[in-house]
Amino acid sequence: MGNESTTRAQMLIDALRDALGPAGTLVMPTMSDGASVFDPKTTPTCEMGIVAETFFRQPGVLRSTHPGASFAAAGPHAW
C-alpha cells in the first residue's frame, strides 16, 4: 500500500463520515479469502481495495467475525 493511496483512501473515508454525520453508520465489505485462519483485527481483505483495507483498521471500527464474508462498520448502529 503506497502512502499516497492510503492518504486518498483516508480522505474518502473522512468525506463519507462527514456526509453521514454523527447519526450515520458507515459500512464497508471486508471479505477475506475465507480459507486462511481469520482474525477480524488483522486478516487483510481480499480484493476489496485500499479504502476498505484502510477503514477496517481504524480505531472504533468494528469488523464482523465471518471468515469469508465480513463487513466493517463505524457509527451508532455498528455492533
- Tens-place pLDDT, residues 25-68: 999 999 999 898 999 999 999 999 999 999 999 999 999 999 99
Report if residue 44 sits inside a domain: yes
Which DSSP string do the residues of the chain spell out, in sequence order?
--HHHHHHHHHHHHHHHHHH-TT--EEEE----SSS---TTTPPPSSS-HHHHHHHTSTT-EE---SSS-EEEESTT--
* CA–CA gap between residue 54 and residue 72 (Å, rounded): 11
Report if residue 67 sits inside a domain: yes
- The domain containing residue 18 runs over which residues? 3-74
Confidence (pTM): 0.89
Report if residue 79 sits inside a domain: no
Report if residue 34 sits inside a domain: yes
Distances (CA, A) of 4 to 1, 12, 79: 9, 12, 31
**Total number of domains in the chain:** 1
Instruction: Please give the pLDDT value at position 6.
Output: 84
Report if residue 8 sits inside a domain: yes
- Residue 5, pLDDT > 90, answer no
Averaged pLDDT score across all residues of the chain: 94
Instruction: Please give the pLDDT value at position 20.
Output: 98
